[in-house]
Structure 1
Amino acid sequence: MPDEFHHEIVGRAAKVVYKKCRQIFGLSMSFDQWRRLKYSYYTAHAAEIAVRPGALEAWRMFEQSGLRQALVSNSDRIVVNANIRVLGLETPGFISVSINDVVRGKPDPEPYERAATLLGLKPQQCIAIEDSPTGVQAALAAGSHIIAWPEDRMLEFPSGIQPVTELEPTVKELLQYST
């Protein structure tokens, strides 16, 4: 895949990615066929996906500090659940919001609003750690605080959002103010 393709699809819902594949690569299968193929492959190989350095450590630090957390994704539930299982986060009461749990996915604020509600909070009381401009737009629209932590340094974020290159110092700073 060309780099620019990744820039266009990161953080986007499956339907958007499918349409881009049709447009750029001439994909001819139906959305349902593509989705079944994609998710069959994904779930079979989820354990092989490399975990982003620092992500699980940050999750665990927040967990140990007693902060409530939710995973908010523009992916379908099948992908979200596969990731939760592979990461060892599957526990009773685990809160996650997938694109299947909302009417409108990111960049709409609904996923973050739903996550805040499930946490018993207002979006303004939450901090979203996001890796995509689409997710940042959603969190901004919900009124959440934002830490942009993209893997792809070429992504363009909304004005006023300065991405961080390392999450750990930011997490430690947040934990200092959360007590």
Structure 2
Amino acid sequence: MTRDEALAIYRPMRASVPGVLGTAIRSCGRADIMRAAKHIGLWTEDGPITDLPGAVEMLSDVALFEPNQRGRRAYDPFLSKRAAQLGAAERALAERMAGAFFSLFRNAGPHEAAGIWLEDLLAGDRRLWLMDGTLEVAATESMTFGLRVRHRAVPRRIRDRRAG
């Protein structure tokens, strides 16, 4: 796969993520937002702190994807109800995002085509190809960071091309 081929797949998916998450966050109630804000230290007696860089994104991420005290995620009811409002491509992306997981990673170097290789420090030998334009440019060699990886599966057409 060439860099241009990889970016041609990545860019439309990346452009769709904010719309999917913007629709999904409407499935969160006040309790979800409050739980998320308390969980990551962005809660005051006046409510959640949202004026810090990245605060809204962090709150949304935790509110949607981290299970509440009953073990339920706000993202799951979104998929079963509100995701139907999305177009077919966005719905497929939303379904892949359901498998998102958080871990600690080490930058293992550039991928041959585009993006970077990650070593999952919490899952032993797992190595992942991450397409992220910002990290591709900014991540230093062996940099360690926490990240929720939203897409686990490589689209079938790419797997099929690599196998052939």
TM-score by length of 2: 0.29
The structure that is strand-richer by fraction is: 2
* Structure that is richer in helix per residue: 1
